[in-house]
Amino acid sequence: MEDNDIIYIERCKDGDGEAFAVLYDRYIDKIYRFVYYKVFEKETTEDIVSEAFYKAFKHIVGYDETKGSFSSWLYRIARNAVIDHYRGKKETANIEDVFESGYSERFSEKLDAKEIFKKISKHLESLSPKQREIIILRVWEDLSYKEIAEITGGSEGSVKMAFLRGIKDIREKFGPLALALLILMRP
Amino acid sequence: MDQKIENIIKELYALDPILRERDKDIRAFVVSLIELRPEISVDKNFVIDLRARLASRKFPVTPKMNHDFSWWVIRFVPLGAIAILILVFLPELTKPAPYGTPIAPSAFAPSETEEASDQEFFRGLSEPASTDAFSAPADSGKSLTMMAVSINSINVSSQNPGSVVTVGSVELEKPGFAVVYADKAGAFGEVVGNSLALPAGGPQRVQINLSRPMREGEVFYAALHTEDGDGVFDAEKDAPIFDAITGSPMYMIFTVENNSPEFAPGL
């Protein structure tokens, strides 16, 4: 969370719409990437991101900074929006299923991301869903363990341990050479 | 990037000191993992469009803000209205009048012609405002101006060809209808469909069956109308709804395009 997020949040609570616009500009790219790394499909990502920001817009007046950072709150809304999206397609939706669901729905897109993901998916799919999500949030999104814990639930300690186990699992199964080869094979 | 790598490695070693024995290996691995991050290019048009759609929403305020807003409304809106009336009718008021001559009520009341013109508004509209009227300009940079708008709102995205329009979001201060108009040379044409009577509140997603199918490339308008209590839409009696602040009619233009999203988030 940026240091002065709280300033804009308080202004939002006073009805300052421009303050929300500042927060929107600050987080739209991050939330977009966060959702995209789960669903890997442009239109679905845009639908979910729209839904997430709409909910944030509606509920920011009720945001309580004592319960966690604004960015974690926003990520949590986006995470729940992903779950809700897939819940509409299945009787039960667990965030752990979303990764597989999203992967199977990926349409043909001329995006570097899809090709890359195909190559690295065997690495990430070997992890537990929780490890996978934590590694993506820590390594690709550069979030702190505290923020990841606020987003995914659980303690900071459990997040750290899951991260460690995930890293070790990938490394033991595939080793650094395999990852290096993947990088060299990138289009 | 270097600092990021160092931070992750330091964290790993703090969790499992044995990993230090393979420092070179671990570093190479962490670097590889970071470099494998897919590059995502966020569609800027989507970002601008979403910002504009959020801007068209009424921004929720805390109860304290509502109270303050009411204080200003109660005290200053009537004064402003009186000032406008005085300026408009001052020439009439300064005319000397014979003793005992009553003031014609029509001088202060809207004529039947004016009321009828509201009913004819959509039919005679020559240049309907596009949704750009409510959205930030494309080069608006980092700032966004949000207006206090009425509770009434309607949002609809592009539709797939077919006979059903899905209006993503309708909010109503009072019961009303969502009505779809065909386009007629850039103006509102005939009514091609309307929702059932909608309750006040929202947001609610609404589906409207049309009297004829939409074809790709066509343009339509989705507008809000009042409901006079009988539960049946009648263009003659159920007037268009206008924004309380801007006075603009509450409607949104949409196009018919193949592969439009089935689910319109309808912000």
DSSP letters, B168-209, are EEEEESSSEEEEEEEEETTEEEEEEEEPPPBPSEEEEEEEEE
pLDDT at B95: 63
Encode pLDDT of B58-86 as tens digits.
766 654 444 455 556 666 677 888 888 88
DSSP A108: -
Nearest CA in chain A to B42: A29
Chain B, 96 to 115: residues with Cβ < 8 Å from chain A are none
Q: Which candidate from B15, B26, B59 shows the least CB-CB separation from A17? A: B59
Range list of β-strands (E), chain B? 153-155, 162-172, 176-184, 187-194, 201-214, 219-226, 251-255
| CA A58 to each of CA A51, B144, B170: distance values in angstroms, whole numbers, following the listed order | 11, 17, 15
The residues facing B166 across adjacent strands are B207
DSSP B125: -
The torsion of the CA quartet A68, B44, B50, B63, rounded to 10 degrees, works out to: 40
Q: Which candidate from A42, A61, A140 shows the least CB-CB separation from B60? A: A61
Nearest CA in chain A to B38: A113
The rounded distance, in Å, linking the Cα atoms of A7 and B1 is 29
pLDDT band at residue B24 using 50, 70 and 90 as cut-offs: confident
Q: Do A140 and B37 touch (CB under 8 A)?
A: yes
- A28, A45, A54, A147, best to mutate vs chain B, most B CBs in 10 Å: A54
Encode pLDDT of B108-147 as tens digits.
333 444 444 444 433 433 333 333 332 333 333 333 334 4
Q: Which chain A residues have a beta carbon less than 8 Å from that of B28? A: 176, 180
The torsion of the CA quartet A176, A181, A182, A187, rounded to 10 degrees, works out to: 150
Q: Which helix (DSSP H) or strand (DSSP E) does residue A68 occupy?
A: none
pLDDT at A177: 56
Residue B89, pLDDT > 70, answer yes
Q: Do A161 and B261 touch (CB under 8 A)?
A: no
Q: Measure in Å the smallest separation between the Cα of B197 and chain A Cα atoms.
A: 25
Single-letter residue type at B83: A
Residue B18, chain A, CB below 8 Å: the answer is no
Q: Which candidate from A32, A54, A171 shows the least CB-CB separation from B42? A: A32
Q: Record the tokens describing residue A43, joined without a space.
A: 């239109």
Q: Measure in Å the smallest separation between the Cα of A84 and chain B Cα atoms.
A: 13
Q: Do B38 and A138 touch (CB under 8 A)?
A: no
Region A161-172: what's the mean pLDDT? Answer: 83
Residue A98 near residue A82, CB atoms below 8 Å:
yes
Nearest Cα to Cα of residue B57 among B207, B243, B240: B243
pTM for this entry: 0.50
The residues facing B222 across adjacent strands are B180, B252
Taking the CA atoms of A81, A85, A88 and A94 in sequence, report the sign of the dihedral they define. negative
In what side-by-side order are the strands of the sheet with B251-255?
B187-194, B176-184, B219-226, B251-255
